[in-house]
Amino acid sequence: MAYQSFEKLEVWKRACRLAVDVCRTLAKSKQYVLKDQMQRAAISIPSNIAEGSERDSKQDFIRFLRIAKGSAAELRTQNYIALKLELLTKDEADSFVNETKEISAMLQGLIRSLSPKLKTEN
């Protein structure tokens, strides 16, 4: 499958949906610092996928996919904190944590597919 545009990547679509869900869920939160961090991390995931895909090299794309993966881990951590602070319900936190794990796995698979194949020694 030849790459055409980031808008066609399922991982980008899911990351966008997650960002929207996080922003909507936290819209009325008064915990401004954590809310801001969570929204920024959530928005960073699809943004880095898009930015990397528009770079001129496969290595740059991979680098930005790794940054997106880091943002997913950051958001996952913030979800655990938000749950402890009762900013999220258990169901909301579980949903966000599961989605960040799945997105991370998808990003890792995309990174693997773009990485040069290692030669095996006999």
Record the pTM. 0.91
Whether the CB-CB separation of 63 and 47 falls below 8 Å is answered with no
Mean pLDDT of all residues in the chain?
A: 93
- For residues 113 and 110, what is the distance between their CA atoms, to the nearest angstrom? 5
Report which secondary-structure segment, H or E, holds 117. Answer: none
pLDDT at 1 over 60: no
| Least confidently predicted of 2-16, 17-31, 64-78 | 2-16
Overall average pLDDT of the 50-56 stretch:
93
H helices of 1-120, where? 10-25, 32-53, 58-84, 90-114
CA–CA separation, 2 and 109 (whole Å): 15
pLDDT at position 10 over 60? yes
CA torsion angle 108 17 96 5 (round to 10)? 10
pLDDT at residue 95 in the model: 98
pLDDT at 119 over 60: no
Check pLDDT > 70 for residue 87: yes
**CATH topology (fold) of 10-22+30-114:** de novo design (two linked rop proteins) (1.20.1440)
